[in-house]
Every structure is written in structure tokens, then in C-alpha cells.
Amino acid sequence: MLAALLASTLAAVAGFGGAAVMLPVLVWAFGVREAVPMLTIAQLVGNGSRAWFNRRELVPPVVGWFALGAVPTAILGGILFATSSAPALQRILGVFLLLTVVYRHSRFGQKLSVRLRGFALIGAVFGFLSALLGSVGPLMAPFFLAFGLVKAAYIGTEALSTVIMHVVKLAVYGTFALVAMRSAAIAAAIGLLMIAGSYLGKRMLDRLPERIFPLLVEAVLVISGLQFLVFA
């Protein structure tokens, strides 16, 4: 319960990081195979609440193009998850998160720009990875930021895009009987608690200066990357 509250508050401020907090806890308690579907249920509720709290600043065209690419690849990734091992992929994710921060400060990363239709490709890549790894919020952050989204517009738009991925993933996980009734009930309870964290995070976000926001995002990227390397 404490991890869920902390995770959702962090995600509501930075736009991601909640899954990085929750995943090691769920893996420790239930194992990787059960933890990822449980995390998906909890994140579905948590991201849905963040999208609602920031609904006035949402950018629907970004969500639409993202979903166009994410839906088919999330189905493929969910099928592969049902038949593959995740720990090695989580270590790769941890390394990639750290490299993302380095890239953002490189000459090429500072010139990164994303056009609206580019979110179809971004959705295709991260829909697949999300179904395999459970969490890709930190990986998506540089692209949403490069499009010019900040604070509530970034939080709400990224959250709604993620909700679409989670709905598709849950449908696939259910098809392969990866979500037990007991696990689903626990995950739903965690998700309900995340709504409170989303509300607290939204109140904090409203008071956060825009210039500090990218620095906070990068701090969460580093912490998330190290956490995946240690706990994978």
C-alpha cells in the first residue's frame, strides 16, 4: 500500500516512475510472471486517474497517432511475453534508461524533435516493449518532451496513451490465462490507492516551476534505470 501511494504520487509529478517503484515490490511478492499483469491492472487505474486529473490539458491528436501504432504491437508483445522470460529484458531496460539521460544531454539529443505523425512509430515501438517489460514510461519521456509537452499537458497525454496500451495488454494476458482472480483483485486494490497518489501528485505538479520539470524527469530516469539493473 505504501509503495502504491509513493509510486502514484511520483508518476503524477514526473509522468512516469510509478511502475519502476511498484515492479520490484510485486516481483518480490509474486514473481515476474504474475507481477507484470498485476502491474498492468494497477497502472491502468493509476494512469486513468492521471489522465482525468489533467484532462483539460490533454493533446488528443498525440494520443490518436500513438494508439495507431501501439495497439497492434502491444498485441504482439503480449503474446511474446506469455512465452518468454523477462529478467534479462529488464536489465536491458535499465541500461537503456541510463543511456537515455546521456543521450538527452548529447549534441544529437538536444536537437531531438518529434512531429505529430511520428507518434505512430513511437507508439509501435513502445506498445511492443510495454507488453514485454511492464513499464516503458521513462523510455517514452524524451519523445513527449521533444514534442513540446510539459507539466499537465505531458502528464495527461502520456497517461492516456499508456491507458490504451494497458487495455490491449490485459486482453492478451487474459487470453493466455496470466491473470488469476486473486492477483487481479490485489492489483485492483492497489490501483484504487493510486488514485489518491495521482491527486496528491497533481496538486504538487501545479506548484512546480516549468524549468525544474525536465530535471525532475531526468532524475527519475536515472533512479529507474539503476533500480531495474539492481532488482532485475
Query: Mind giving me the DSSP string for 30-68?
Result: H-HHHHHHHHHHHHHHHHHHHHHHTGGG--HHHHHHHHH
Count of alpha carbons within 13 angstroms of residue 214, beta-carbon side:
12
Give how far Cα 83 sits from Cα of 57, 132, 180, Å.
Answer: 39, 10, 17
Q: Which residue has the cell 539493473?
A: 229
Give how far Cα 13 sits from Cα of 145, 154, 211, Å.
Answer: 14, 10, 14
Q: What is the pLDDT of residue 232?
A: 58
Q: What is the pLDDT of residue 124?
A: 94
Q: What is the pLDDT of residue 161?
A: 93
Would residue 208 be called left, alpha or beta, if left means φ above 0 and alpha means ψ between -120 and 50 degrees? beta
**C-beta of residue 24 within 8 angstroms of C-beta of residue 227:** yes
Question: How does DSSP classify residue 150?
Answer: -
What span, in angstroms and rounded, lies between the C-alpha atoms of 67 and 90?
Answer: 24
What span, in angstroms and rounded, lies between the C-alpha atoms of 119 and 114?
Answer: 8
**C-beta of residue 65 within 8 angstroms of C-beta of residue 123:** yes
- Nearest partner of 227 among 1, 48, 3, 72, judged by Cα: 3
Rg (CA), the chain: 16
Low-confidence ranges of the chain (pLDDT < 50): none
- Nearest partner of 19 among 176, 35, 219, 86, judged by Cα: 35
What span, in angstroms and rounded, lies between the C-alpha atoms of 4 and 193?
Answer: 7
User: How many CB atoms sit inside 10 A of residue 214's CB?
Assistant: 15
Q: What is the pLDDT of residue 24?
A: 72
Q: Report how far apart the first and last C-alpha atoms of the chain are (Å, whole number).
A: 22
Q: What is the pLDDT of residue 104?
A: 65
Q: What is the pLDDT of residue 111?
A: 67
